[in-house]
Structure 1
Amino acid sequence: MKTLSIASPLRLGQTWIKLAKKKAFARGSEIGLVLAAVLIGLAAGTAVSGMSFLSRSLHSLIFGITIDDWLSSSTIENQLVVLVAPIIGGILLGLVLYILARRRKRAIVDPIEANALYGGRISLTDSIIVAGQNLISNGFGASVGLEAGYTQLSAGLASKLGTKLNLRREDMRILVGCGAAGAIAAAFNAPLTGAFYAFELIIGTYSMVALAPVVVAAIIATFAARAFSGNSFIIEVGEIGVITPADYVPAIVLGAICAGVGILIMQGVAFVEELARKSSLPPYVRPALGGIVVGLLAMVTPQVLSAGHGALHLNLDSEAPAKILIGILLLKSLASAVSIGSGFRGGLFFASLFMGSLIGKIFGTPADFITTGTLTPTVLAVVGMSSLAVAIIGGPLTMTFLALEITADFPITALVLAAVITSSLVVRTTFGYSFATWRFHLRGESIRSAHDVGWIRNLTVEKLMRADVKCAKLGVPLAEFREAFPLGSAKRVILLDDQDRYAGLISLPDIYAEEAETARPRTQLADFVSHQNDFLLPQMNAKQAAEIFDHARAEALPVISNLIDRRVVGQLSEAHTLRRYSEELDRRRREAVGEV
């Protein structure tokens, strides 16, 4: 026993030393990040395969199809099941929401928000909850994809690993990008798509430091997912001949059309959500009502169910007339808006690809009048799916590489690039948001991308201010004030009223300059007061403080507790604020390019 009591602490100490060395290696080495990315890629590929298997198992169990069939392209004879399944899914999801509302008060953070505001920190528990909700929604037929669950769970696993390794803020953000890259790469068998999804949407920028780990995670996740599931997402476009300059005209027009449709879909989701809020129905009741609408639409055509993988291939291979395709597009758009707006958990990634392909095929008829005829409906469908996905999801290069990797056809990539740039430009200039950032806007958040702005919010006035301030009562006689504050004792003094609330600022040099003047002098402190309504609050960030300094044209301002009490708790100068802001900005820049 005595030997054990001595050896156990020794072994424990050795374990901690090894763990510390691993953490130091990961923090101080790009190779360490790459090795972490390998683990994240394996986890992401496994997570995607597992969720996909569970979803298709639910489809098989509930709707009576084989596990190898896609729900949205299946013929389901029992129409009662088609109607009831989304309703039951809504009820189950409502129960989950009811339990969560009673036990968890904080909002769930997604990867974009985590990288923008929280330095890449995501709760793994919350991520598992999101993945579970996504599975319920998709598994029971709601018109949402699994990509949101894939990305959330993979990013949550990556953030957990980064937390265990005690990584720096910028490295944490990169690992979250690795998780998202692995998830999208595994979902589409498209490592380049996954990598650029991470750069454009999750990390918010491209850097050499992030390149190796993100690409490695995407490749490993693709291999892992194919090892588990074996299937891949491929579109055959056939021979399209030589692309001429004239062919770019319909592609650009199609990109602009998809931008308009994307904006309408995003506003449609917001409209349904607003309608649900105004109805005063509890959030846990709304999914069941949304399930009724989805079920009724699915009775018209099962192509509105789930994400739409099968329906996309079905329509690419069919010669359906334009009016049928328009009907499917309208039904799918409505089903997706109702599903998301009523509270079903999921995303519009694949739904936007499916709807975009429909727009492309519908556009094929008028396109014949403005093209040489070399652009087949399938080619236009690929251009349309990429363009609508850019309008809703964002990421022009992401969707361009997706088109390249799922068609393995390079000539149409240039057409896709022209269309997605047009779509992205139209959306940014007329609407300004992607689907994710639009929902942040509706919640009151100001972020428009995953660019790291969290450090700005953390650099608050409370952290920057000085607490030792010189104060005086407003009613003190001028002579007494001069005696209490001789020239050179301070630059400025904060005045308080009879109830110790902030009343204004006095510049001490002005007091003594007035004393030397022979002209009509001012005789009381109130004559010298300035900036009575200019002040800072502790929770303001450095950027907001700088804007107030500029507006007030003040070198320093007091910090008050709140707008009601107006108790002075400190003082902050413009020079110190700008210096600290510049130092942090430079440090973040150096972190992003790997200089620190």
Structure 2
Amino acid sequence: MIDVPFVTSPRRAPMRLLTAIRRRMRTSELWLIALSVVVGAAAGLLAVVQSSLAHGLQSLLYGIKFDERLSAAAQIAPITALWLAAGGLVLGLFTWLVQRRRSGLVDVVEANALYGGVLGLVDSIIVCAQTVLSNGVGASVGLEAAYAQAGGAAASWAGRQMKLRRHDMRILLGAGAGAAIGAAFGAPLTGAFYAFEIVIGSYTPSAIAPVAAACLTSVMVAKAIGAPPYSIEIAAQKTPDVLGYALYSGLGLICALIGVGIMRLVALAERWVRTSPIPAVIRPAIGGLLLGVLAVISPQTLSAGHGALHLDLAVGVPLAILAVVLVLKTLASVISLGFGFRGGLFFASLFLGTLVGQLYAGVADMASIEKLSPENAALVGMGALAVSVVGGPLTMSFLVLETTRDFSVAAATLAAALIASTVVRERFGYSFSTWRLHLRGETIRSARDVGWMRTLTAGKMMRKDPPTAPATISLAEFRRRYPLGSTQRVLLADEFGGYVGVMVTASAYADGLDLEAPAETLAVSREDVLSPEMDIEAVMRAFETTETDELAVIGPEGQVLGLLAEAYVTRRYASELEKQQLDLYGEGKD
């Protein structure tokens, strides 16, 4: 018999290579950085494509040049403004078709907070299409939501192909979303801190290099393609003095109040529209008609407001007109989101912030308090209001720094942004993205990872074979079955297996008991039970409230499923928390 040497099949070679790469990805930070570079390139490319699609649609519908901004148009004819209603009708039909098959589209913040960085491609394609269409027809929403969604989706897909850990998936998702924002603004530091503050929810040593690599790559790719970024061409003026810093701090407080007001107005509009008799499919069309009226009054209400931002500063618009534009733009944003257009408030809040800053500088000058530079006030207001709505004080401060290259104005922006962030966090508690999740019933307040707690449920942690006895058993029989020291507690059930209570074994051996009495007469915790879907946080609260050591886990029909001890839950929580801390510092690798 002739021995035939084993030869690896050519078809298996790619799989073996992929397996080896996956193994390296899970054990080496350098390989994760390399993957982040690829993700950053994809995010930058996707941002450019989406921007081109939206601006191309605006050029087609409104007759502007491709390199012009819709919000800087001199005027909009009433017949042209009808494109908003027509686009709203198309969006309404598209959304109606989507909702027949899918419900609850997941965004990047929710994916990182609850699902360990897993973001579906189909969900993301839908969100991006809705956002590009909304912005393309002129609704008062920005493309930033689509940029972050596309970059995050590319990162999540790559991470799933490499079978990355949960912690690395969250970092990669943040890197992809931040890279897309960095490419859009031509600002890598802004993109990086967007990833840290808004998408990942924390600054961690293990995330710095992957996020930075992705953001730098995305900006370079966007520049290599020749795509113009969302450049905010505002030149900083004189360095603020001590009184200027104090006044800019007051501007931060005002921006916080305005930001909270905008978010509450959007929620109020959404609730009113949802409870109105207007059919869901035509709500965006109705909103488009209202936006058309505002567009005829002032084209600055259209799109995100990038062109209008520069126009107002360049022309030197009177304060009265700035105030009118501020009201109209706020109303346009509220109508757009309330009636079902898709998009973000990132750039809209930047534009509104410049208006608030210019108004603030004008009022301070009129009151002879201090002659503030309108440009500096616009920059500080831009950062402070964006922080109030979007979050991320360092993100917005670095945006101002990368825009102006002026550290003094960036420092003033940081001071105002920190005040705005603190006031919003204390008095409101949400950014725009987490506020909308809150309205859907979620409890998350940031992208901090809380999903791992939701995976640890009572049903998964419980002891599935606890000692159980019929509730009608006599105490004498109970003593015979369960001698002292055999078990601490026994679950009592009725004849159908339904939960009756918990019998503490020691209580059956007290003096003076009627041994013929049924065991259920000594049952405790009759109403204090756990359901299998309760997460570890809810379970710990239940133990704290009931002040007992063990609780039964009961099914939907009242049947006994298992028993859960507080000591075990506490140990499990501490173990998982330690694992999370190790991951944060990059020490959780195999």
- Give the structure-1-normalised TM-score: 0.95
Q: Secondary structure at the match of 1:514?
A: coil
Q: CA deviation at 1:499?
A: 4.1
Is 2:590 aligned against 1:588?
A: no
Q: Shift of residue 567 of structure 1?
A: 0.6
Greater CA drift, 7-16 or 347-356: 7-16
Q: Which residue of 2 aligns with 1:161?
A: 158
Residue of structure 1 in register with 2:397 after alignment: 400
Q: Does the residue aligned with 2:492 lie in a helix, a strand or coil?
A: strand
Q: Name the residue aligned to 2:73.
A: 74
Deviation at 1:16, TM superposition (A): 1.1
Superposed CA offset, 1:234-259 (max 9, x none): 44544633421111111011111111
Alignment partner of 1:567 out of 554, 559, 574 = 559
Matched length: 584
1:452 aligned partner: 449
Which amino acid is the alignment partner of residue 345 of structure 2? L
Q: Which residue pairs with 2:86 in the alignment?
A: 88
Determine which of 417, 422, 426 is the counterpart of 2:419: 422
Equivalent pair of 2:364/2:371 in contact (CA under 8 Å): no
Contact 1:240 1:374 in 2 (8 A): no
Residue from 143, 148, 167 that aligns with 2:140 = 143
Match of 1:437 in 2: 434
Structure-1 residue corresponding to 2:29: 30
Q: Distance in 1 between matches of 2:6 and 2:381?
A: 67
1:49-448 alignment to 2 at 5 Å? 49-76=48-75, 78-82=77-81, 84-104=82-102, 106-238=103-235, 240-368=237-365, 373=370, 375-448=372-445
Q: d(CA) in 2 for partners of 1:575 and 1:263? A: 42
| Cα distance in 2 for residues equivalent to 1:239 and 1:347 | 27
Separation of aligned partners in 2, 1:251 and 1:371: 16
Contact 1:247–1:372 (8 Å) recurs in 2: no
One-letter identity of the residue aligned with 1:456: M
Task: Give the secondary structure class of the aligned counterpart of 2:281.
Answer: coil
Kept in 2, the 8 Å contact 1:234–1:407? The answer is no
User: Equivalent residue for 1:513?
Assistant: 510
Q: Specify the code of the residue in structure 2 equivalent to 1:71.
A: L
Using a 3 Å threshold, how does the CA distance of structure 1 residues 464 and 317 change in structure 2: closer, same or farther?
Answer: same
Determine which of 543, 546, 552 is the counterpart of 2:546.
552
- Aligned residue identity for 1:529: A
Name the SS of the counterpart of 2:551 in structure 1. strand
> For structure 1, which runs of at least 5 residues remain unmatched after alignment?
1-5
Contact 1:258 1:423 in 2 (8 A): yes
CA distance in 2, matches of 1:145, 1:235: 15
- CA offset at residue 364 of structure 1? 1.1
| Equivalent position amino acid for 2:271 in 1 | E
> What CA distance in whole angstroms lies between the structure 1 residues aligned with 2:514 and 2:496?
31
Could you say if the C-alpha distance between residues 301 and 369 of structure 1 is closer, same or farther in structure 2, counting changes exceeding 3 Å? closer
User: Offset at 1:531?
Assistant: 0.9
Counterpart Cα distance in 2 of 1:205 and 1:215? 14
Q: Give 1:3's aligned residue.
A: none
CA contact 1:500–1:567 (8 Å) conserved in 2 = yes
Displacement, 1:504? 1.1
What are the Cα deviations for residues 508-551 of structure 1, in whole angstroms up to 9, with x where unaligned?
A: 11212336xxx999954244221111111100111211111111
Other structure's SS at 2:145 match: helix
Partner Cα separation in structure 2 for residue 71 and residue 333 of structure 1: 17
* Structure 2: runs of 5+ lacking an equivalent: none
Q: Which whole-Å CA distance do the structure 2 matches of 1:344 and 1:7 have between them?
A: 61
How far apart, in 2, do the equivalents of 1:197 and 1:280 lie?
A: 39
Q: CA deviation at 1:8?
A: 10
Percent identity of paired positions between Structure 1 and Structure 2: 45
Distance in 2, matches of 1:162 and 1:239, equals 41
Query: Judging changes above 3 Å, is the alpha-carbon distance between structure 1 residues 20 and 371 closer, same or farther for their aligned structure 2 residues?
Result: farther
193-202 or 277-286: which moved more? 277-286
Which secondary structure state, in structure 2, belongs to the residue aligned with residue 363 of structure 1?
helix
Cα RMSD between the aligned structures?
Answer: 1.9
1:249·1:370 contact (CA, 8 Å) conserved in 2?
no
1:571 alignment partner, SS class = strand
Contact 2:474/2:516 (8 A) holds in 1: no
**Separation (CA, whole Å) in 2 of partners of 1:255 and 1:481:** 69
Shift of 1:224: 0.9
What is the CA–CA distance in structure 2 between the aligned matches of 1:66 and 1:234, rounded to whole Å? 18
What SS does the corresponding residue of 1:216 show, helix, strand or coil? helix
Q: Give the counterpart letter for 2:558 in structure 1.
A: R
Q: 1:36 to 1:353 in 2, by over 3 A?
A: same
For the 8 Å contact 1:396–1:424, the answer to whether it is kept is yes
Does the Cα contact within 8 Å between 2:270 and 2:338 map onto a contact in 1? yes
Deviation at 1:348, TM superposition (A): 0.3
Kept in 1, the 8 Å contact 2:205–2:585? The answer is yes
Q: Does structure 2 retain, via aligned residues, the 8 Å contact 1:243–1:374?
A: no
